[in-house]
Amino acid sequence: MKFIKRATTAILAAVMCLSFSSCGDTSYIAKAEGETIPAGLYILSQYAALAEAQQTSGYDSSLKNIWDNKLENKSLKNWVNDRALELVKQYAEVEKEFKAEGLELDEDTIKEVDNTVESNWASVESLYTAIGVAKESYRLYLLNQQKYYEIFDAYYGEGGKEEISDDSLTAHYQENYAQFKAISFSKTDSAGKDLDASALVELKNKADQYLERAKAGEDFDELIAQRKKEISTDTSDTEEEEDQEVNNMIMIKKDEASWYVSNKLSNAVFEEAEIGEPILLSDDNAYYVVLRYNVTDDEETYQKMRQSVLLDLKQDDFDEMLMTNAKSLDFTLNESAAKRYDPKKIEKEQKKAAQAQS
């Protein structure tokens, strides 16, 4: 069973169902195809939409009040609510198409969802409670995510209606992903202070020496180990690494931020580094002797990443199809609920939770 998490899944796990009563029944956000959708799915979608907005071009994170942002000529609040409603409709469409395709989640998948709910709940219950979330709605959302991927595979996976060939997947993988190893030469000292001009020249000379050794065919992993010994202040760390196999391979995706690699270095790897040819690259932080590898040579990693590559290739098309199909849903919005739930509360409770943890 493939339990796949999109980048937003970890974020979405932080909120769920809210059921209040007021002048209207606001315990549900809509009715679609005869099924009632809990209000928690709308709150969940607001949370996801807010996270999406913060990664959207035009969003200004420097504003003291984030709600002063405008996206696509809309206030941030309206943008978030509109996007949240789209996601609720996608939820409903997934439920509809899953039934129409005659699909069922297997016992292992359901068990894994239940285990995920239980394992996450204890650590985030205080935040959920502050927002007014319910565990069962969290479960409904995760089950819907699994149904999403089952339908996706029914379209694009092996034997699917629009099956993507291995050749197409491999070509996309080679074009958009890169594997490399790097020997790093930091432009700051041990205290984090920038090196002066003369020290930078000396550092560049050291990097050039390693580059020539790499070009001469010395084992790249051994060169990495030697460089670590040169700069290490804790010999126990290097001795421990010598006793175990260290995987120095780094995987990056084109035009996608990485925790480990700066955008400048990532772009240089794709644009300048030739497979099998050591090269000296740099960014604001360091010089790097880089050796790029052919991603398809690592069959084990490719098989692990195959589903992610397929999603990368076709997920936008799939989401667009779902949204197009959702236009024909028998869908009735609960206006009272839509007006009641304010995404500003989500942001407020996020701040409280962050302050409590600091």
pLDDT tens string 292-303:
999 999 999 999
For residue 280, CA distances in Å to 16, 185, 195 come to 48, 11, 19
What local confidence, expressed as pLDDT, does residue 3 receive?
Answer: 44
Which range is least confidently modeled, 16-30, 64-78, 174-188? Answer: 16-30
What local confidence, expressed as pLDDT, does residue 136 receive?
Answer: 87
Inter-residue contact 55 to 356 (CB < 8 Å):
no
Domain that includes residue 194, residue range: 176-297
Question: 1 in a domain, yes or no?
Answer: no
Looking at the fold, whether 235 and 162 belong to one and the same domain comes out as no
What local confidence, expressed as pLDDT, does residue 138 receive?
Answer: 85
Number of domains in the chain: 2
Looking at the fold, whether 244 and 342 belong to one and the same domain comes out as no
pLDDT in tens, 260-288: 899 999 999 999 999 999 999 999 999 99
- Average pLDDT for the chain: 89
Alpha helices in the chain (DSSP H): 9-12, 39-53, 76-100, 107-131, 135-156, 166-176, 197-215, 220-231, 235-242, 263-272, 299-326, 335-340, 343-357
Q: In one letter, which amino acid is 15? A: V
pLDDT in tens, 136-156: 888 898 999 999 999 999 999
Rounded distance between C-alpha atoms, residue 336 and residue 333, angstroms: 9
In this prediction, residue 50 has a pLDDT band, given cuts at 50, 70 and 90, of: very high
Looking at the fold, whether 161 and 216 belong to one and the same domain comes out as no
Question: 3 in a domain, yes or no?
Answer: no
Looking at the fold, whether 25 and 154 belong to one and the same domain comes out as yes
Query: Which has the higher per-residue pLDDT, 213 or 4?
Result: 213
7 has a pLDDT exceeding 50 = no
350 has a pLDDT exceeding 90 = no
Give the Cβ contact number of residue 285 at 10 Å.
Answer: 14
